[in-house]
Structure 1
Amino acid sequence: MITIHLSTEAKARHIHIATADVDGQTYSASHKTKSPIPVLARTLADAGVDGSTLVTIQRDGKPILRKPVALSCWTLIDVVDEDGRGLRTVKFRPFDAALGSAGLKAAA
């Protein structure tokens, strides 16, 4: 089981940070407009952590979810903060860097 610890770096700027220690190595992710938990989960999956590994989330040493959730569940979503709509859970869509500027020209 992996425990992800949440914190806020600069309360005025609302930069949220998620960290986890796995096999002696510390992984972290931060973001201003979306939850860093799914971002960190994808980083852990890319590092070879099994998707069935259970994950607990804590803030200030207190759990924020009742039950652990599989890492693979977190990799499939993003939690975004949209102006006027508040926080929303959406399906993760990776940025297609392969398109690069060609993708931008095609869309124009």
Structure 2
Amino acid sequence: GEIVSPSRLRSLGHLLGSDNGWRELYYLLEKDPASTAFRYDLAAAMPFDGRNPLYYVLHESSYADGVVTDWSAERTQPEDFRTDTSLLYGEHVWAEWADTVPAFQPWKDVV
């Protein structure tokens, strides 16, 4: 299975950008983290998954006009945001996911 790293868990903030995402996040966080329901719902709520791994691979570069982004979201986040793990991320991707998300591991050398 997948290791849910802090950056992966914080990526649930992408839900707040949709109409009812706040509600989905609320109901997810109300569940017992040890329950099967929580594990399944957490997996379903993740913004990048094994169904479309190319989206993870190409995500940052799709915003770059022919330049290398070099994991810009990771590099440029403010220090207070980096250290406060209670803050959620939006639609960002992280290099470590190539190690912690099994579906992304075959793409590690590409990203």
TM over 0.5: no
Higher helix share: 2
- Which one has more relative contact order, counting CA pairs under 8 Å at least 6 apart? 2
Of Structure 1 and Structure 2, which has the larger fraction of its residues in strand? 1
Greater radius of gyration (CA): 1
